[in-house]
Chains A and B, each alone.
Chain A
Amino acid sequence: MSDTPGLVIDVDRDRCCGSGNCASVLPEIFSQDDGGRVVLCEPQPAAASRNAVLEAVMLCPVRAITLRQAPEPG
């Protein structure tokens, strides 16, 4: 078990411009609907995906992906 609380991903589909960067970098977490807008498949990524998630956040050209800490359990 990791001591650090996990991350929760939020996506803003209204901001999304359909660049597809997130779906390219992390297809198991991000997808696109038929119109190209982001679809969040896994809002709470495994700790091992942390760096790739941070990359997806950085690559989003319209900052439609944000992160917050998961609430402490219990």
Chain B
Amino acid sequence: MTPPSYPMPRTEPLNVPPGLAEVAARGPVSRVQLWDGGEAWLVTGWQEARAVLADNRFSAALRHPGYPHVRPGFRGTRVASAAAPGAGGPTLLRMDPPEHDVLRRMLTGFFTVRRTAAMRPAIEAWTDECLDAMQAKGPPADIIETLATPLPSLVLCELLGIPVAERAYFEQLAAGYMAYGATQRQVIGVLRRMTDYLDDLVTRKESDPGDDIIGSLIRDYASAGLLSRTDLLGMVRLLLVAGHETTANMLGLSLAALLADRDAWDGLCADPGAIAAAVEELLRFHTIAQTGLCRVAVEDIEVGGELIHAGEGVIVSVEAANRDPGAFADPDVMSLHRGARHHLSFSFGIHQCLGQALARLELEVALARTMRRYPSLRVADGAGQVAFGHDRMIYGVHRLEVAW
């Protein structure tokens, strides 16, 4: 019997694909078929997902022939460095220890809980500026264009030391990189433009490196010969794409989900202290990593009663793991007071999201400021006011026209 194909289509924009629940019902680890006819293991159980993600015998590197490429365009990036000069090297998300650990440690100090908390006043001010722009534009206005997209960009510009005037360009590149249907040629093209842009950015900063992340990496590591140009550009590319697309889409999806559930919206407007817990549940229920997290077994390893052989591809479905009834009571109910932090939306293991405290803070502040200023916010009248990002590696909302 041919296994079900992955990724699976959604039938409701604010719920996981029904096909995923069918696969999960068969067991925590099962077989799926990919776009090219190849097969991989799909991990749907929470316990098993944690086991795979925390086990370094599952490699995250693209170089393995068995790496499960979930989108056609991505196949090309595996050979990008050889076949497409200028497309850049792998980011630390696609590296294993010990190389990964050396690079990650250069960054962890910028994302501590303490440093992140210190950004709260700035994030509040940027959110207010975004809402001012929305006020000037509407009603109606697209809150994706006026808040969800610019806010994470403004945070990144400050952290990385990028001129704010350049944000439209890197937003466009990040979006192009994440397009699910992009061809190999398009993905390589985007990677080349991004590498050119980042190379120029780093060159401009070399003469006067500031205290931002790029400046610090230049001063503390690159100029001392401890960080290659390729790795530096890879790190900045990862921070830009991972820091922007994820937060922007999660914020847009959170707004869409809450506006689709008036009681939930009104309840949080009346009780802003509950917003932080609500963010955890939104992260769990509306998992944006809709194409899973990919690994390759480098040894024979048994997981969830299945023997995964060395060389075989494994995809961890964070969406399915976040709905595992063994880990979350009534998992298919969005329960904003649940307050469960053990979802896997930031992954698990050594690759767990570096910026998770920052993402949580951005989401909490953006929701709280929006609700305080616009408790009567609603989706604008008329058809087509909400457009969901089915065609992206990271699920989210492209357009959300709101009125107040």
Q: Quick check: A27 and B113 within 8 Å, CB to CB?
A: yes
Q: Is B85 an interface residue (CB 8 A)?
A: no
Q: Quick check: B111 and A36 within 8 Å, CB to CB?
A: yes
Distance (whole angstroms) from the CB of A16 to the closest CB of chain B: 9
A23 to B113, CA, bound (A): 7
Distance (whole angstroms) from the CB of A42 to the closest CB of chain B: 16
CB-CB nearest 10 A-B residue pairs: A36-B108, A18-B108, A61-B352, A35-B109, A23-B113, A20-B113, A32-B112, A61-B348, A36-B109, A36-B112
Residue in A17, A24, A25, A61 whose beta carbon sits within 8 Å of that of B108 in the complex: A17
Distance (whole angstroms) from the CB of A26 to the closest CB of chain B: 11
A-to-B contact residues, CB < 8 Å? 17-21, 23-25, 27, 31-32, 34-37, 55, 58-59, 61-63
Q: Is B104 an interface residue (CB 8 A)?
A: yes
Distance (whole angstroms) from the CB of A20 to the closest CB of chain B: 4
Determine the main DSSP class of A at the interface with B: loop
Q: Is B357 an interface residue (CB 8 A)?
A: yes
Distance (whole angstroms) from the CB of B221 to the closest CB of chain A: 13
Distance (whole angstroms) from the CB of B50 to the closest CB of chain A: 8
Given A59-B341, A61-B350, A18 and B105 touching (CB < 8 A)?
yes
- For B53, the closest partner residue in chain A by CB is A61
Determine the main DSSP class of B at the interface with A: helix
A63 to B56, CA, bound (A): 13
How many interface residues does B have (CB within 8 Å)?
A: 24
Contacts of B105 in A (CB 8 A): 18, 35-36
Q: Is B63 an interface residue (CB 8 A)?
A: no
A63 to B54, CA, bound (A): 8
Contacts of B101 in A (CB 8 A): 17
Contacts of B350 in A (CB 8 A): 17, 61-62
Contacts of A32 in B (CB 8 A): 112-114
- Interface hub of B53, B112, B349 (most chain A Cβ within 10 A): B112
A55 to B116, CA, bound (A): 21
Could you list 20 further interchain pairs (A-B, Cβ under 8 angstroms) beyond the known A18-B105, A32-B113, A61-B54? A17-B101, A17-B104, A17-B108, A18-B104, A18-B111, A18-B354, A19-B354, A20-B112, A20-B356, A21-B341, A23-B112, A23-B114, A24-B357, A32-B114, A58-B342, A61-B53, A61-B348, A61-B352, A62-B54, A62-B349
Q: Quick check: A55 and B54 within 8 Å, CB to CB?
A: no
16 A–B contact pairs at CB < 8 A? A17-B101, A17-B104, A17-B350, A18-B104, A18-B111, A19-B352, A20-B112, A21-B341, A31-B114, A34-B109, A35-B108, A35-B109, A55-B341, A59-B341, A59-B342, A61-B347
Q: Restricting to B317-351, which residues have a CB under 8 Å from any CB of A?
A: 341-342, 346-350
A58 to B105, CA, bound (A): 22
Q: Quick check: B108 and A37 within 8 Å, CB to CB?
A: yes
A23 to B116, CA, bound (A): 12
Q: Quick check: B112 and A18 within 8 Å, CB to CB?
A: yes
Q: Quick check: B349 and A61 within 8 Å, CB to CB?
A: yes
Q: Quick check: A20 and B341 within 8 Å, CB to CB?
A: no
